[in-house]
Amino acid sequence: MGAGKHGGLSGSNKSSRLIAAVVALVVLVAAGVALAVTADSLGTPQGSDALVEQAPTGLAEIDRSSQGGQDTAPASDAANAQEEEPLPPSPSTAGALHVEGAQLMDQNNQPIQLRGVSTHGLAWFPQFVNKELFQELRTDWGANVVRLALYPADEGGYATGGDRAKLEETLIKGIEYATAADLYVVVDWHTLSDKNPWWNAEDAKALLGRVAERFADNNNVLYEICNEPNGETTWSNVKTYANEIIPVIRAAAPNAVIITGTPNWSQDVAAAAADPLEFDNVMYSLHFYAATHQKDLRDALKKAVQGGLPVFVTEFGICEASGDGKIDYDSADAWVELMDDLDVSYICWNLSNKKESAALISSSSKKTSGFTVEDLSKEGLWLVQTLHAPGFDEEALRLATAPRKDNKAGSAMMVFSEGTLQWTATVSERWEEDGETFFLYDLTADNYSAALEEWTVRIPFSGPVTVTDNWNCEASAKGNVLTLTNTDYNGAVATGGSIADVGFIVKGSSSLAVVED
């Protein structure tokens, strides 16, 4: 997967091309001076053609190195990535951000929308903070922001007995990986079970102050000073906390964009709009979980933004507010449409393989980078489609999200029809072996029309398939699609005739199923 993973010319390649260019130049000059010389005397025609062909490339190489000797690899990588799907603006071009009215702006005073993913709690899923993955978030997922969630409370939290040094190190590494990957990064002080940000304000001040000092020269770091005030916490509690902590961050990073949570689990943006902070470059967060929060909260977002409040959806999920339960695609899509219309930035919860609907990675995947369609949860599949992620195979994504047929043993289904030849399949057996699931399908077909001499059956699956056995047909699998054709003895089917006893065994993930295509 992945756009732009090829390297540039290696050093030795470069120097041999230089030599070739010099040789080519000499040959070109010689050819120019002695036009009368016959082709034969320059050597074989192939030889001279080869040299002349190399000249332009070689000269271009010399040209580039004489203009400052920039390594050409990143530029060509970026160009390749852009050919496939343009990547969103990122720190290298959009630079430091600021806020004007309700809008987040880049260094060129252009509106900018950040879209990306949030980690789960750094205490619990630190393995998803890694260099490769963050790079892929940008090039393959099409994100331009990552959020690092540091819980002060909860088990193993920063202020509740967690390993502080390790948590801080994970946070710092996360900022460094995001910077190397050309991503914006939101440092999230993830107030949750601690309800009121004042409960752990001293820790927040010390830690966020240190981080701001360390990354004072970065143009890509945003600070979220409290995730979700809740319980009895009022906007006035949050405001006095913000008034105390913002100057601490600003002492080191005077222009950093700072986001604050709003009461009621970051849903009461109206309270903030009625009595906003008096700092520049601050934003207010609104969080939603699409299966729980519907039109009322969307209206609240719209009203706040249209009234001039800069809102950032620093966290959302497409399932229920518990982080689990059912997914509501219609609501999720309505939210995205609204946020895109309003140019509101958004970050999806969460980058982990926890067994919950809000995890972007499927719990059966043990990878920590290099994810393919197969590794993504339902929310993950939805997100990469929403981000138009350039690194995921479109056909595989389409089939992974297509309606599935049953894959339990005994399930019967229509699998393919062409003209009036209709194929029915039954999952006759399924079993597990070495961590993979095998499915035995038996097929029959009825021909309701003219006699045939040959046939082909195309069966799309939800994920990649491998055929391990087949009978009374030829079988080949490519990606998610299995193709069966007749053998030399069962291609002919009379009108009203049928084909029986065709079958195959495929292996794949336990959720592998035939899909409607």
Q: Which residues are catalytic?
A: 228, 315
Alpha-carbon distances of 337 from 104, 289, 343, 397, 465, rounded to whole Å: 18, 15, 10, 21, 35
Backbone angles phi, psi at 496, to 5 degrees: 75, 0
348, β-bridge pairs: 117, 316
Angle at 15 between CA 10 and CA 21, to 5 degrees: 125
Alpha-carbon distances of 78 from 70, 97, 193, 335, 488, rounded to whole Å: 14, 22, 42, 30, 50
Cβ 193 to ligand IDC, closest distance in Å? 7
Q: Which is nearer to ligand IDC, 358 or 465 (CB)?
A: 358
Cβ 428 to ligand IDC, closest distance in Å? 39
The conformation of residue 1, written as its DSSP 8-state character, comes to -
- Measured at CB, which residue is nearest to ligand IDC? 323
Alpha-carbon distances of 209 from 179, 183, 245, rounded to whole Å: 19, 21, 8
Q: Which is nearer to ligand IDC, 189 or 215 (CB)?
A: 189
3-class DSSP state of 438: strand
Please list, in sequence order, all residues whose beta carbon lies within 8 angstroms of the beta carbon of residue 30, skipping any fewer than 6 positions away: 37, 42
DSSP secondary structure of 76-89:
HHHHHHHHHSPPPP
φ/ψ region of 185 (left if φ > 0, alpha if ψ in -120 to 50, else beta) reads beta
Cβ 321 to ligand IDC, closest distance in Å? 5
Burial of 434 (C-beta count, 10 Å sphere; 0-12/13-18/19+): exposed
Cβ 146 to ligand IDC, closest distance in Å? 16
Cβ 65 to ligand IDC, closest distance in Å? 51
Alpha-carbon distances of 487 from 346, 408, 470, rounded to whole Å: 54, 28, 11
Cβ 134 to ligand IDC, closest distance in Å? 20
Contacts to ligand IDC by CB under 6 A: 154, 192, 227-228, 265, 287, 289, 315, 321-323, 349-350, 354, 356, 358
Q: Which is nearer to ligand IDC, 8 or 323 (CB)?
A: 323
Q: Which is nearer to ligand IDC, 135 or 350 (CB)?
A: 350
Measured distance CA(287)–CA(289) in Å, rounded: 7
Q: Which is nearer to ligand IDC, 154 or 393 (CB)?
A: 154
Three-class DSSP labels, 137-190: HHHCCCCCEEEEEECCCCCCCCCCCCCHHHHHHHHHHHHHHHHHCCCEEEEEEC
Cβ 353 to ligand IDC, closest distance in Å? 11
Q: Which is nearer to ligand IDC, 193 or 411 (CB)?
A: 193
Measured distance CA(278)–CA(1) in Å, rounded: 46
Q: Which is nearer to ligand IDC, 13 or 363 (CB)?
A: 363
